[in-house]
Structure 1
Amino acid sequence: MADQSTVSLARRLWRDYLVRYWPRLALALAGMAVYSGANAAIAFGVEWVFAGLSGAGDDPAPLGRVASFGPLAIVGLGLVYAGALYAISRLNAGAALSALRDIQNDMFDKMTALDFAQLRGEVSGQFMARFTNDITVLRETLNRLANGVRDALTFAGLCIAMLWFDAILFAIVIVIYAIVGVFVARIGKMLRGASRKAQEQAGDLTALIGESVSGARMVKTYQIEPLERARASDAFDERMVVLKKMAYARALNEPVIFIAGSAAVAVIIGVVAWRISSGATTFSEFTGFMTALLLLSQPARGLGTLNAVMQEGFGAFERMLSLIDAQPTIKNAEGAFDLPPGPGAIRFDNVSFSYGDASKAVEGVTLDISAGQMVALVGASGAGKSTLMNLLPRLYEPASGRIFIDGEDITQVTLRSLRARMALVSQEAVLFNMSALENIAFGRPGASRAEIIQAAENAAANDFIAQLPNAYDTVLGEGGATLSGGQRQRIALARAFLKDAPILLLDEATSALDAESEAKIQDALKRLTAGRTTLVIAHRLSTVKDADMIVVMDNGRIIETGTHDELVENGGAYARQAALQLV
């Protein structure tokens, strides 16, 4: 997405997220008004005390009254100041954290809605960085924005006090701070670009570390630890350069504000002597003015650093919006209808697809699969088998041609109803860090415990699940880390049994298993495939030789079809492969 201005990003943040919590923010704003008023009152209180002590001014207070009410007034103002500060912080934090939660929900909703190709087009670390690093940066910005409003009100209140005490001295202060504002704005502009780069680097680092952890077995076996350390070191160095640039820029803010304050004080001291000698001001008024000026330094520093933090936060928010605003390219057609119930007959009609390069992953495929048939797709890696299977649930969209299920064009039916008709079991069983019961229940949310256990029994998974520490309530760990490969695959099969869909997609479901696990799963697969339209991808021909039809693919095209016996008798590509495997 194109770079957006700070104003447009701030408007979007308010309109889409913060405005939902306007009652809290309105109360916080009222607290800020009380807080800024207390600050200004301190300056007037100091002027009143000094006027009384010096006997100067138009109506100096008697010393007794100063001694009695002066300390009480200061303590009272301090209590008001502290109470308002606590209320502001609590109300702002609640609104900011609620808004951040809403942003995370929107990002996750959009991430799950994006197409398979869109998700694969960006490394997972970039997605994770948006939910972690970017959210942290924006949280700091929201906190500082709230403080910025408070500081702005306080700044305005103190400016009114200084203007009341001496308009000429106030004009000097404003001119000095206006000049400083130009430099602060330039620093903020530079930080915006650096912040965006830093967030991208955070995503790349997350991906790199994730690869090293998930690939630890390969890293250690091939002894490539030095290579991984070098990759990480280069990434850390690159990130350090950007973070240093940001840190050095931020470091300029407060010194610049401090110099401005020092210059203001220096000029004022020079001017005030002439003002007092000419009778234009009094010492007590000067004391009140200086108190206000000294109190002004804190909100001035806050406002000076706010721009830097705001630019970093809006850089992060811009990255979040790039996900929130992303639109899936595969979605329901206008007037899409639910796929009517049917037995699951499939037709590929002259289907072609490519991943964006010149070569086609699937080209001119026409294939009829009768309801209840088991059809095996075989061929070398890259022949187009997985691509053809992925086109069926519309994970990708064909460049040309059409696909029908029970006579209905799948682009005209709702994605929800289309995918409800299919169950997938892949080579790598996908399990979540949840209980065995919950992992199986994904097949049909809302299924009863009895139905889930029955599905596990059908998948030959009940026996080992019952032996787990908490049986079906045992948390399986990330990716099912506590289970063997065969056990993970049987959980995935149980999920497919529970879904009970008429179309079954099996993508190398037994290729990575030992002989004993494969035997158990093959028995379960016979029960699962009975009466269902089944599309199978397999490299081991022994697992598919009993299929109703075998489809041989090469370079995205179908080159042979038939039963095992027919293809062996033909003496083509399948027969040559069978001669190597089936001895």
Structure 2
Amino acid sequence: MSAQPPTSFASTWLLARRLWREHLSRYWPRLAMSLGFMAIYSGANAAIAFGVEWIFSGLSGASGEDVPALSQISIFGPVVIIGLGLIYAGSLYAINRLNAGASLSALRDLQNDMFSKLTALDFAQTRKEASGQFISRFTNDVTVLRETLNRVASGVRDLLTFGGLCAAMLWFDAVLFLIVIIVYAGVGLFVGYIGKMLRTASRRAQDQAGDVTSLIGETVAGARMVKTYQIEPLERARANAAFDERLRLMKKMAYTRAMNEPIIFVAGSMAISLVIAAVAMRISSGAIEFSEFTGFMTALMLLSAPARGLGTLNAVVQEGFGAFERMLSLVDQVPEITTKSNATELTRGVGTVQFENVHFGYGDGGSALNGIDLEIAAGSMVALVGASGAGKSTLINLLPRLYEPTDGRILVDGNDIRDVTLRSLRSQMALVAQDAVLFNMSALENIAFGRPEADRGDIIRAAIDASANDFIAALPNGYDTPLGEGGANLSGGQRQRIALARAFLKNAPILLLDEATSALDAESEAQINAALKRLTKDRTTLVIAHRLATVKDADIIVVMDGGRIIETGTHDALIEKNGAYAKQAALQFS
């Protein structure tokens, strides 16, 4: 992932601009309406101070043309206060409703952008980071940013209210207002420093939340191994350490955040005490009337709420932008394997495949493939055998461009795979791996991944070809039965036959089999092998297998070691050669 940018006003401003430009601006009508209601809300707050000043001018018994009579106050005083209260409450409801709709919609859009990028990233890029970190961006980070958007909306409302009340205080007495502003300005510097600390702490906390998510996911996924090997104490120890670190980070943030409101409260107390000291002198000198003082003090009291809101706003914003930076680190990633601008469509062909001097390394300094030259005729079956780490899976992964060769080229039907579109290239291939990947969807939907536009009849025919129809039909709701997370409601052999049904449905000319029959019982393996014979007929097939009995009938057996091809030939020819394959066969068949 990209490096974390420095915490500064400039970076905060850039993040805010981007959040507005790419996600919030499309909902500007709602936000504009909310801003209008905020103006009404702030006006109502300021009007309360003037209403109090008007009421007290009458109650004080002062004389003058603008001083209301007690009879007027008894009638219109309650009307003014209740009316302003209704305006205040109604505008507040409208503000909260409009802001919530805009912010939640923007977050939905951001989640869509993240998920689109997640699915667009290369296979290698998604493997560089733990799945928990990705999940955390969609859960924890979104929650933090949602709170920030809500508080920013409240902050705009508080800012307008603060400005309105400041204008009211300035109207009543400029000297007293100057005292208040000096106190709050001094506090603002300290609040800004707290915000910087929280921004950094928030990034660390969200990263650690991803680690916790990964740990929990590993424990749930590996529950069988955890219980069988009785490593519950080890897992609890790992979890305790992660939760302790989480506690430390969250305490640090909470303790830092806890300083905001007390400081604002102290500032308000200081402002009030200085105002009281100053107002006595100003009343005695005739510079201010008692009724004006009550209006000023009302405005000052009302000022404490928006002042506290603005004081804590910076802290929440910095936490939210810390989360937003992590989300952008996903959104801003650029896939390394892409379709060239002048790429052509690869039309369905016979399925010939050529590897020409192909080299590949995983970026850790090691070399996984070294000068692979291999030509595969259309409709033939080529078996890749060799010890673990020999490069078999890497070779297969290069064909659909899950990885890119560091040197050399790969041709499909005479076309360099880098010169054709990714979509058309991958449409020519079907993959059946050792671990059948199933989703918590119905059997019908899981098979339909092979060809999403297929109708129900095509899907059932594919299941019949894969020897999967009988057990699917016996499920509670047949093909419409959800299969559970990872196909948890099925056996290993049943999951593998669902995967085979996908391949049948796709009907691609090139078939990639990566240990498709390993770890199965004899009955399941027999059913799957029978289905594979139907599936591989007239298709170019690359099959990885450690059990040589499953590839004895392959047209060509390719023996790999250390990223190189060391032997090729049929089973009988390689046995007669008495090389690496013959030694491996002797061990297995004996």
Above 0.5 in TM-score? yes
| C-alpha deviation, 1:55, in angstroms | 2.4
Partner of 2:337: 330
One-letter identity of the residue aligned with 2:28: W
1:25, 1:310 → 2: CA distance?
18
2:138, 2:530 → 1: CA distance?
43
Is the contact between residue 125 and residue 203 of structure 1 (CA under 8 Å) also seen in structure 2?
A: yes
1:150, 1:334 → 2: CA distance?
48
1:401, 1:357 → 2: CA distance?
20
Is the contact between residue 339 and residue 421 of structure 2 (CA under 8 Å) also seen in structure 1?
A: yes
**Residues 306-346 of structure 1: per-residue CA shift (max 9 Å, x gap):** 00000000000000000001000000123011112210100
1:189, 1:401 → 2: CA distance?
50
Which residues of structure 2 form unaligned runs of 5+? none
1:55, 1:336 → 2: CA distance?
89
1:461, 1:432 → 2: CA distance?
17
Partner of 2:587: 580
| C-alpha deviation, 1:57, in angstroms | 6.3
**Secondary structure class of the residue paired with 2:327:** helix
One-letter identity of the residue aligned with 2:386: G
2:370, 2:230 → 1: CA distance?
41
Q: Percent identity?
A: 73
One-letter identity of the residue aligned with 1:246: M
Partner of 1:482: 489
Distance change in 2, residues 1:363/1:60 (3 Å): same
| C-alpha deviation, 1:85, in angstroms | 0.4
**Secondary structure class of the residue paired with 1:17:** helix
Partner of 1:35: 41
Counterpart selection for 2:181 from 168, 174, 183: 174
Partner of 1:465: 472
Is the contact between residue 56 and residue 284 of structure 1 (CA under 8 Å) also seen in structure 2?
A: no
**Secondary structure class of the residue paired with 2:372:** strand
Matched, 1:101 2:108: yes
One-letter identity of the residue aligned with 1:44: F
2:588, 2:527 → 1: CA distance?
22
**Secondary structure class of the residue paired with 1:506:** strand
One-letter identity of the residue aligned with 2:509: P
Equivalence map 1:413-492=2 (5 Å): 413-492=420-499
Partner of 1:531: 538
2:226, 2:484 → 1: CA distance?
22
1:50, 1:566 → 2: CA distance?
109
One-letter identity of the residue aligned with 1:84: S
Matched, 1:301 2:308: yes
One-letter identity of the residue aligned with 2:222: G
Is the contact between residue 348 and residue 509 of structure 2 (CA under 8 Å) also seen in structure 1?
A: no
Partner of 1:7: 13
| C-alpha deviation, 1:359, in angstroms | 2.4
**Secondary structure class of the residue paired with 2:259:** helix
1:190, 1:221 → 2: CA distance?
45
| C-alpha deviation, 1:220, in angstroms | 1.2
1:222, 1:463 → 2: CA distance?
36
Equivalence map 1:230-379=2 (5 Å): 230-379=237-386
Counterpart selection for 1:89 from 86, 91, 96: 96
One-letter identity of the residue aligned with 1:103: L
2:276, 2:69 → 1: CA distance?
29
Is the contact between residue 386 and residue 392 of structure 2 (CA under 8 Å) also seen in structure 1?
A: yes
**Secondary structure class of the residue paired with 1:330:** coil
Is the contact between residue 56 and residue 282 of structure 1 (CA under 8 Å) also seen in structure 2?
A: no
Which residues of structure 1 form unaligned runs of 5+? none
| C-alpha deviation, 1:358, in angstroms | 2.8
Matched, 1:18 2:20: no
Report the TM-score when normalising by structure 2: 0.98
Equivalence map 1:534-545=2 (5 Å): 534-545=541-552
Equivalence map 1:70-149=2 (5 Å): 70-149=77-156
1:400, 1:61 → 2: CA distance?
92
| C-alpha deviation, 1:226, in angstroms | 1.2
Partner of 2:560: 553
2:458, 2:365 → 1: CA distance?
48
2:392, 2:475 → 1: CA distance?
37
1:235, 1:491 → 2: CA distance?
38
**Residues 198-220 of structure 1: per-residue CA shift (max 9 Å, x gap):** 00000000000100111111111
One-letter identity of the residue aligned with 1:54: S
1:267, 1:56 → 2: CA distance?
26
Matched, 1:394 2:401: yes
**Secondary structure class of the residue paired with 2:335:** coil
Counterpart selection for 1:51 from 52, 57, 72: 57
2:63, 2:200 → 1: CA distance?
54
| C-alpha deviation, 1:7, in angstroms | 0.4
Equivalence map 1:201-212=2 (5 Å): 201-212=208-219
**Residues 409-463 of structure 1: per-residue CA shift (max 9 Å, x gap):** 0001000000000000000000000000000000001100000000000000000
| C-alpha deviation, 1:102, in angstroms | 0.2
**Residues 254-288 of structure 1: per-residue CA shift (max 9 Å, x gap):** 00000000000000110000000000000000000
